[in-house]
């Protein structure tokens, strides 16, 4: 993988989202030419912030895709040497039709992207999975840290109707199966709760979780939290595993493995003026804390931004954009 090579054209699916925008920004900073995909080219909320990025005028092309429309994906991937597949619906609550809203776009969309990448002669695909493909895993040994070898319990998700973790788990498994059967070079990043300065005009589910906390919400997200991570670090992790030829397998991407109770307490400590209700510290049953949860990425040189800074950057961004006062 050539670093900072102007002739390298890469595709970022889901380029307009909170993580996608950061990734596009850092790739442009590194002189890559980027094909970024959006759902609707006529929606300024998806395109304006991308076109405003430095280098976008000469090295960014926007493509409208539908994850279930192979031809639209192939057009975006064509001519690229690398693909970052981020696009996947993230609906954590109120899912009316899980198959249509989450499972089909996540699983079939991933297969469509990988099929297009293979057909286009792409060298490496980085797939954005999630800690939601690692936990909830209630049968994992209580004395063992949950790392890349741990997988979310599919049956548990079905029983509890946890459609988002189910979609991320099945999509990642489908990616590994495809890679094995078709000889495509795939690496995976599994980010935790991703926050920080927001580039698009809309918020991701993780930032909405922080907004709810600042509004006094006492939910503890026991099936959805494993630690926090800065937008910039997630974007850097994607680039690291793309550019490092020896990178392989899954990469847990969290600043540290922690409980939502740790995060909630830090928010309350940093912002006493919000008078936030106290929560228990142990909110994720059976989750062992670990400072080096992202060890694979640390060994590649990624220095994670600590939780305190993640929270401060996030709250500052929420205030500046008028989401909180």
Q: What is the pLDDT of residue 291?
A: 96
pLDDT of residue 3: 47
For residue 253, the Cα-to-chain-centroid distance in whole angstroms is 9
**186-191 β-sheet, strand order:** 60-64, 33-38, 9-13, 82-85, 124-128, 186-191, 249-253
Among 86-100, 106-120, 148-162, the minimum mean pLDDT is found in 86-100
Least Cα distance to 22 among 218, 268, 204, 279 occurs for 204
Structure tokens at 216: 């006094």
- Active site residue ranges: 168
pLDDT at 93: 66
Alpha-carbon distance of 123 to 129, in angstroms, equals 19
- The runs of H, that is alpha helices, within 33-141 are 44-51, 56-59, 70-77, 98, 104-119
Q: Are the C-beta atoms of residues 81 and 10 closer than 8 Å to each other?
A: yes
pLDDT in tens, 250-269: 999 999 999 999 999 999 99
Q: Are 18 and 200 in contact (CB under 8 A)?
A: yes
Q: In the prediction, which pLDDT does 90 show?
A: 74
Residue-wise pLDDT for 102-153, tens only, equals 899 899 999 999 999 999 999 999 999 999 999 999 999 989 999 999 999 9
The pLDDT value recorded for residue 112 is: 97
Taking each helix axis from N to C end, the angle separating 44-51 and 18-29, rounded to the nearest 10 degrees, works out to 20
- Distance between CA atoms of residues 100 and 128, nearest Å: 20
What is the rounded (10 degree) CA torsion for 188, 306, 284, 91?
A: -50
């Amino acid at each position: 993988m050539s670093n900072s090579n102007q002739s390298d054209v890469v595709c970022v699916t889901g380029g307009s989202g909170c993580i996608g925008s950061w990734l596009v920004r850092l790739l442009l900073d590194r002189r890559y030419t980027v094909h970024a995909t959006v759902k609707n080219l006529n929606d300024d909320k998806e395109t304006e912030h991308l076109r405003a990025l430095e280098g976008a005028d000469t090295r960014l092309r926007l493509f409208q895709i539908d994850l279930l429309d192979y031809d639209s994906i192939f057009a975006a991937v064509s001519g690229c040497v690398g693909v970052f597949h981020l696009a996947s619906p993230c609906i954590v609550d109120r899912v009316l039709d899980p198959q249509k809203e989450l499972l089909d776009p996540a699983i079939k969309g991933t297969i469509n992207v990988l099929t297009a990448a293979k057909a286009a002669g792409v060298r490496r695909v980085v797939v954005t999975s999630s800690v939601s493909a690692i936990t909830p895993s209630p049968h994992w040994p209580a004395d063992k840290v949950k790392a890349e070898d741990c997988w979310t319990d599919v049956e548990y998700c079905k029983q509890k109707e946890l459609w988002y973790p189910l979609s991320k788990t099945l999509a990642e498994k489908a990616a590994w199966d495809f890679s094995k059967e078709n000889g495509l070079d795939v690496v995976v990043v599994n980010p935790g709760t991703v926050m920080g300065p927001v580039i698009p005009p809309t918020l991701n589910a993780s930032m909405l979780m922080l907004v709810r906390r600042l509004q006094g919400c006492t939910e503890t997200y026991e099936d959805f939290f494993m630690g926090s991570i800065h937008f910039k670090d997630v974007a850097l992790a994607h680039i690291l595993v793309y550019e490092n030829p020896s990178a392989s397998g899954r990469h847990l991407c969290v600043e540290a493995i922690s409980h939502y109770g740790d995060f909630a307490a830090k928010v309350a400590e940093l912002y006493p003026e919000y008078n936030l209700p106290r929560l228990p510290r142990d909110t994720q049953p059976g989750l062992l804390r670990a400072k080096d949860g992202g060890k694979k990425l640390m060994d590649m040189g990624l220095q994670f931004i600590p939780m305190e800074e993640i929270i401060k950057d996030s709250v500052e961004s929420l205030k500046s954009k008028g989401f909180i006062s």
